[in-house]
Chain A
Amino acid sequence: MSSPEILPQQRRENPDPQERTTPIPWLVLALAIILAAFGVDYISHAKLDTPASWGDGRSHSELAGNKPADGAKADGAAIFASTCAACHQATGQGLPGVFPPLAGSEWVLGKPTTAAAILLHGINGPITVKGQSYQGAMPAFAASLGDAEIAAVLTYVRSQWGNAAAPLSAATVAEVRTQHAGRTGPFSGGDELKALP
């Protein structure tokens, strides 16, 4: 076997590295003991008494349902922020031509039972709000929101952005829910809503 050419780069470099057997400094050993002790301590404080399929750190009460328990007060502002504000905006002004305003809206400030009916079943059709016509596409919340929650959010909406209408009770929403119990689709627009009792 012929020896390959030795490049100047190879000739000028240091020999390949070697190792000395300096013992492990005691500080590093101390660190090992501290870390192992931390591990034992951390594990001993872990809450691992729930089933593995629940996931990390869940409690029984939070998994048993997210509807507010009996007696707990529904937070209208929070429901508005998470469910309504995307379309009607945090200012209650809606978006021109797309989503109608809630501030000063005759539907919000009018009969509370009609407002509750809209939230329960939604709208699919033309509706006029503050003199502007919209192609209504309001989703129904009968399934996802309880009576207390609908009452809370309506009460909130009726008292914000200069609105000053009377609060609603969960009982009123429950009545409206019973009244329209047979309904399967959304209201067909402003005309049908106006005809409601």
Chain B
Amino acid sequence: MHSETRLVLGGLTTLAVATAALVVLPYLTVRDTPPAPGLKPYTASALRGRTQYIQHGCMYCHSQQPRARDFAPDAKRGWGRATVAGDYAYDDPPLLGTMRTGPDLMNIGVRQPGEQWHLGHLFQPRAYVPGSIMPAYPFLFELRDKAEPGETVVTLPPGFVPEGKTVVARPEALDLVSYLKSLDRSYPAIDPTTTN
């Protein structure tokens, strides 16, 4: 090869084709898909919790994309129906995830609506789920002698909290749980009466 122009133009053309397919066409067709009809916007607390979710890298172990029925039995595990573009309309960025070291969380708010469970599980996952390999997040909580009025106390089975101490959830933990509880795509993704 003698011509650097041909080399560079050729290289830029191949990249342009790839960019057209994987970025430009999705940009034109699905970027601005309107929110699915049952999708609620996040509350302020849930949005702050979403930032916590990103900060602590939850998406490296938990996906947010149940797969299609004839591909994997995700729905049978109670993880919910396959998701569509409109389910992510308020997600910036979308947290689809690439690993299931832990379960899919797209509908964790439906199957795990209890705040207490989430808080205790974040403080020490093995207190509730024996054999779990999820990290503990003790820095989202405070150990106190006594909780102040209005604070959220986390109840744990005996042996997980030092004698005489009380576990109090910090605001970050409450926000994160508020986000997790808001993860709900149990509404129909499309109007059942239409065909395609």
**What residues make up the interface of A, taking CB atoms closer than 8 Å to B?**
49-60, 62-66, 78-79, 81-83, 86-87, 95-99, 135, 137-141, 144
Which residue among A66, A79, A96, A139 has the maximum number of chain B CB atoms within 10 Å of its CB?
A66
Q: Report the Cα distance A53→B158, complex, angstroms.
A: 49
Residues on A with C-beta less than 8 A from B186 are: 66, 144
- Pick from B70, B110, B157, B184: contact of A97, CB under 8 Å: B157
Q: B residues 77-102 with Cβ under 8 Å of A?
A: 77-86
In contact, B113 and A139 (Cβ under 8 angstroms) = yes
Which partner residue on chain B sits nearest A59 by CB separation?
Answer: B69
- Pick from B86, B120, B187: contact of A98, CB under 8 Å: B120
Which partner residue on chain A sits nearest B121 by CB separation?
Answer: A86
Q: Does B189 contact A (CB under 8 A)?
A: yes
Residues on B with C-beta less than 8 A from A141 are: 113
In contact, A51 and B82 (Cβ under 8 angstroms) = no
- Pick from B78, B82, B85, B115: contact of A83, CB under 8 Å: B78
Q: Does B114 contact A (CB under 8 A)?
A: yes
Dominant secondary structure of chain B at its interface with chain A? loop
Q: Report the Cα distance A147→B138, complex, angstroms.
A: 39
Q: Does B111 contact A (CB under 8 A)?
A: yes
- Pick from B81, B111, B196: contact of A51, CB under 8 Å: B196
Residues on A with C-beta less than 8 A from B33 are: 53
In contact, A66 and B81 (Cβ under 8 angstroms) = yes
Q: B residues 138-156 with Cβ under 8 Å of A?
A: 155-156
In contact, A54 and B128 (Cβ under 8 angstroms) = no
In contact, B192 and A55 (Cβ under 8 angstroms) = no
- Pick from A52, A65, A79, A98: contact of B192, CB under 8 Å: A65
- Pick from A52, A55, A63, A87: contact of B188, CB under 8 Å: A63
Q: Report the Cα distance A188→B21, complex, angstroms.
A: 57
Report the number of A-B residue pairs with Cβ-Cβ less than 8 Å: 109
Residues on B with C-beta less than 8 A from A137 are: 114-116
Which partner residue on chain A sits nearest B127 by CB separation?
Answer: A95
Q: Does B112 contact A (CB under 8 A)?
A: yes
Which partner residue on chain B sits nearest A56 by CB separation?
Answer: B68
- Pick from B68, B80, B85, B117: contact of A66, CB under 8 Å: B80
In contact, B82 and A63 (Cβ under 8 angstroms) = yes
Residues on B with C-beta less than 8 A from A49 are: 196
As a 0/1 sequence over residues 168 to 196 of chain B, the CB contacts with chain A under 8 angstroms (1 = contact) are 00000000000000001011111110011
In contact, A98 and B82 (Cβ under 8 angstroms) = no
| A–B Cβ pairs within 8 angstroms, 15 of them | A53-B86, A54-B189, A55-B83, A56-B68, A58-B82, A59-B68, A62-B68, A62-B75, A63-B84, A64-B189, A65-B187, A97-B155, A97-B158, A98-B120, A135-B155
With both chains docked as a complex, state the minimum distance between the C-beta of A145 and any C-beta of chain B, in angstroms.
9
Known A60-B190, A66-B80; contact A144-B129, beta-carbon cutoff 8 A: no
Which partner residue on chain A sits nearest B38 by CB separation?
Answer: A65
Q: Does B3 contact A (CB under 8 A)?
A: no
Q: Does B6 contact A (CB under 8 A)?
A: no
